[in-house]
Structure 1
Amino acid sequence: MFKQLEYSVIIVIMEHPPPPYTSTKMAAFGHTFPFYPGPKPTFPMDTTSAIIITIFLTALVTFIIILPGIRGKMRLFWLLRMVTSLFIGALILAVIFSSKWSVGQVSTNTSYKAFSSEWISAEVGLQIGLGGVNITLTGTPGQLNETINYNEEFTWRLGENYAEEYAKALEKGLPDPVLYLAEKFTPNSPCGLHSQYRLAGHYTSAILWVAFLCWLLANVMLSMPVLVYGGHMLLATGIFQLSGLLFFSMATSLTPPCPLHLGTATLHTHRGPAFWITLATGLLCVLLGLAVVVAHWMQPHRLKAFFNQSGGDSSVLEWIPEEGGLLSPRYRSTAESPEPLDIPLSGASSETCCKEEYPGEPDCAL
């Protein structure tokens, strides 16, 4: 009787297969989670970071190609300025899109599938960025005859819904550790991690974009005869970066830390590489800005020589070929200008000039 009923159920299931992602129905017949369709993602390279690196490396190679056209000591100064500027700009953009502002990793024994008593030994990683979280799960090879290698991203950027992405992860049937950590960052979670990290990410990202604009203005002004304002913009670049760090630290410490228990271990987070890179870049911009401003008041001629700009305030322009350098304009002051020379005119020229100026004097040429 029971065997016939079981066979009938199997025939019905075969004739009418369930739709995709109906794991809850299949679990009643001995199957277990997860039913994850398609190939599993395997730690791909961050495409945004790759694009940023490619753009700035292309600019650097372009500057190196035209470097032989600059002669003398100016070549070294110019190369130093270009490398430093590109380095700062690339770091500012990279940390904006980085997912390593707060990171944590732990090795643990944890459950792998829902409605299953099987446990796995794996490393679980959590990376929190300004635009979302990234969760990784890497199991020891040879477990359950399956390659356990997951890398899932959940974002809360403007125009994207974190709750919907979490619901899709549930439909996919992701492993328990991934779903557990993702659930901690949902809007309805009692931990409150979603509100504080989302707020910190939005405002810190906006502040860093302002810092990037200040960096662009600093490059424009340092290529013009307004070096002191370029130093001010470098100072602003560093100050905005440090302000972004301060806001991120304050916003993420508004609520007490939420314990993240994964099997037999607890996952703890700490400041990631993006945080410390931003701190170092901000301090570097502040120091460079102060150096430019101080040099403008104490050694303006050396500062202009470093930026390959002419010095002096006057209206006399003289083109001279500097030794080992390109032809560049040099302005001379009035004090440096040579005295006017009295050039004697010939007799005919002086008589003609005298008649033009004094037509009534017959002997003005004498």
Structure 2
Amino acid sequence: MAAFGHTFPFYAGPKPTFPMDTTLAIIITIFLTALLTFIIILPGIRGKTRLFWLFRVVTSLFIGAVILAVNFSSEWSVGQVSTNTSYKAFSSQWISADVGLHVGLGGVNITLTGTPVQQLNETINYNEEFTWRLGENYAEAYARALEKGLPDPVLYLAEKFTLTSPCGLHGQYRLAGHYTSALLWVAFLCWLLANVMLSMPVLVYGCHMLLATGIFQLSGLIFFSMATPLTPPCPLRMGTAMLHFHRGPAFWITLSTGLLCVLLGLAMVVAHRMKPHRLKAFFNQSVGENPGLEWNPEEGGLLSPRYRSTAESPEPQDIPLSEASSQACCKEQPRMSDPDP
């Protein structure tokens, strides 16, 4: 390397760049495909039901897509700074670059982009991910980064999230990521149950599941906020500047979606108590279906049989029999024998 004028360590090979997370791209594609399919069949629905149906589908798909997307997003805590910093170890050469830090539930993503991109006869454009999900070892990923010889700013930030770092960020964000992700998965299951129950004549339970979806999302946000500090316990110095990070878009969109689920769930529960017929009409359920079963609000909306009393039951109608049927009935009746004198 010295013969070619390179300074140790030398990052061999092309720099990996990832413009978008493939997992997020798959999730967005699936939900957009489902939405497009529903829009195609929308003209076949007549009247006001079309608007009600469109509102339900768009709202439900939005909530489900958000819950899945934020679970795999790396935008829970973000920070970015423009600075002049060293580029390689054991080198006095400095570069002007934008350094980005993106912390998610499953790991940390570090970006380094030169301003301009071409400096020191190299293309400075890095996007490196270090994960701590279950089954993955953060220390091994950091060791591989050292072997590859990543730039100093990337290794410096990645070292702050190692288990042996005195900064203590690894334990905080790893614990918060595991528990917040678990709560979001529970919220996703509640969302699935809500969709199933709202398509059946048990609307009140669907309302409760939608309410539970929002509660689990908000619970995950509360735990993440309590477990992770807004101000890191150690300074993150990037050359001539200081890197500060804050709550990212994934945090705020989860907050808004959780509040939306809670408000919709409460509104539907109140509507079920006060005007259940209009709620059934909104979900395209005929009020006149199943006349033998009546909606019992006292039992939580469960369809329970209500037997009619004798006074409420209709009077039996006498069905006239034909002459042949009457003679046959008379012949079948046994004659009573006269009593012995």
Q: Normalised by the shorter chain, which TM-score bucket?
A: 0.7 to 0.9
Q: What secondary structure is seen at the aligned counterpart in 1 of 2:110?
A: strand
Residue number in structure 1 paired with 2:212: 236
Aligned residue for 2:15? 40
Please tell me whether the aligned partners of residues 211 and 238 of structure 1 are also in contact (alpha carbons under 8 angstroms): yes
Q: Determine which of 86, 92, 106 is the counterpart of 2:81.
A: 106
The question of whether the paired residues in 2 share the 8 Å contact of 1:130 and 1:201 is answered with: yes
Q: CA deviation at 1:258?
A: 2.1
Q: Deviations over 1:292-314 (max 9, x none)?
A: 11111111000000001122562
Q: How does 1:1-366 map to 2 (within 5 A)?
A: 31-141=6-116, 142-253=118-229, 257-312=233-288, 314-315=291-292, 350-358=322-330
Give the counterpart letter for 2:101 in structure 1: L
How far is the alpha carbon of 1:79 from its aligned partner? 1.3
**Residue of structure 1 in register with 2:296 after alignment:** none
Following TM superposition, by how much is the alpha carbon of 1:358 offset from its aligned partner in structure 2, in angstroms?
4.8
Deviations 1:116-167 (A, max 9, x none): 1111111000000000000000111242122111110000011111011111
- The residue identity in structure 2 corresponding to 1:193 is L
**Would you say the 8 A contact 1:314–1:334 is kept in 2?**
no
Aligned-partner residue type, residue 275 of structure 1: F
Secondary structure of the corresponding residue to residue 71 of structure 2:
helix
Q: For structure 2, which runs of at least 5 residues remain unmatched after alignment?
A: 294-306, 334-341
Distance 1:30 1:210 in 2: 55
Task: Give the whole-Å Cα distance in 2 for the aligned partners of 1:288 and 1:172.
Answer: 51
Larger Rg belongs to: 1
SS in 2 for 1:148: strand
Q: Percent identity?
A: 82
Residue by residue, what CA displacement relative to the aligned partner does 1:275-327 show, whole Å, maximum 9, x if unpaired? 000000000000111111111111100000000112256239xxxxxxxxxxx
Per mean C-alpha deviation after superposition, the further-off stretch among 38-47 and 263-272 is 38-47
Structure 1 contact 196–254 (Cα < 8 Å) conserved: no
Distance 2:246 2:264 in 1: 29
TM-score (norm 2): 0.86
The alignment covers a number of residue pairs equal to 316
Structure 1: stretches of 5+ with no match in the other structure: 1-25, 317-332, 361-366
Whether the 8 Å contact between 2:191 and 2:213 is mirrored in structure 1 is yes
CA deviation map 1:4-55 (0-9, x unaligned): xxxxxxxxxxxxxxxxxxxxxx569964144222211224211011000111
Letter paired with 2:90: F
Tell me the CA shift for residue 188 of structure 1: 0.3
Classify 1:200/1:183 alpha carbon distance in 2 versus 1 (closer, same or farther; 3 Å): same
Q: Deviations over 1:319-362 (max 9, x none)?
A: xxxxxxxxxxxxxx989x997897996xxx553454355558xx
Q: Is the 8 A contact 2:230 2:246 kept in 1?
A: no
**Deviations 1:68-127, CA, capped at 9 Å, x for gaps:** 222222111111111110010000000000000000000001111111111111100000
Aligned-partner SS, 1:140: strand
Secondary structure of 2:119 counterpart: coil
Q: 1:109 to 1:254 in 2, by over 3 A?
A: closer
